[in-house]
Amino acid sequence: AQSVAQPEDQVNVAEGNPLTVKCTYSVSGNPYLFWYVQYPNRGLQFLLKYITGDNLVKGSYGFEAEFNKSQTSFHLKKPSALVSDSALYFCAVRDLGGFKTIFGAGTRLFVKA
C-alpha cells in the first residue's frame, strides 16, 4: 500500500536561511510525487510535482524538490526562506497505476524575521 511520511511536525527557520521540509514515501512501483501548501485561511495550492526525468524539480514561489529513488525521499527545499513562506506543507504520492493520492500528515513551517 502507498504511504507518505513527513517526519517533522514543525520546522523553524530564520528568514534568509535555506529551508528543507522532509518527505519519504512508499509505493509498489514508480511514484508520482507532489508538494502542496496551505496558507492560513486559504485552500491547498499545488507547488510542484515529480513524474519522471530530472530528479530536481522546480516549482512555484522559488521552491524545489529533489527526488531520491534509493532513499525513497522527496524533500522540499528553498535556498532563502521568506516570512511569507510560513504555512502548512503537504507531501503526496500516487503510484503510476493508481488513481488515489495519499497525503502526508503535513509539516508546519515557521519562518522568523
Partner 1 sequence: GAGVSQSPSNKVTEKGKDVELRCDPISGHTALYWYRQSLGQGLEFLIYFQGNSAPDKSGLPSDRFSAERTGGSVSTLTIQRTQQEDSAVYLCASSSSALSAYEQYFGPGTRLTVT
106 binds partner 1 (CB under 8 A): yes
Other CB atoms within 10 A of residue 21 CB: 26
Report the distance separating Cα 2 and Cα 84, nearest Å: 32
Q: Residue 3 has which C-alpha cell?
A: 504511504
Residues 24-43 that bind partner 1 (CB under 8 A): 32, 34, 36, 42-43
Among 14, 44, 56, 83, binds partner 1 (CB under 8 A): 44
Binding site for partner 1 (CB under 8 A): 6, 32, 34, 36, 42-46, 49, 51, 90, 94, 99-106
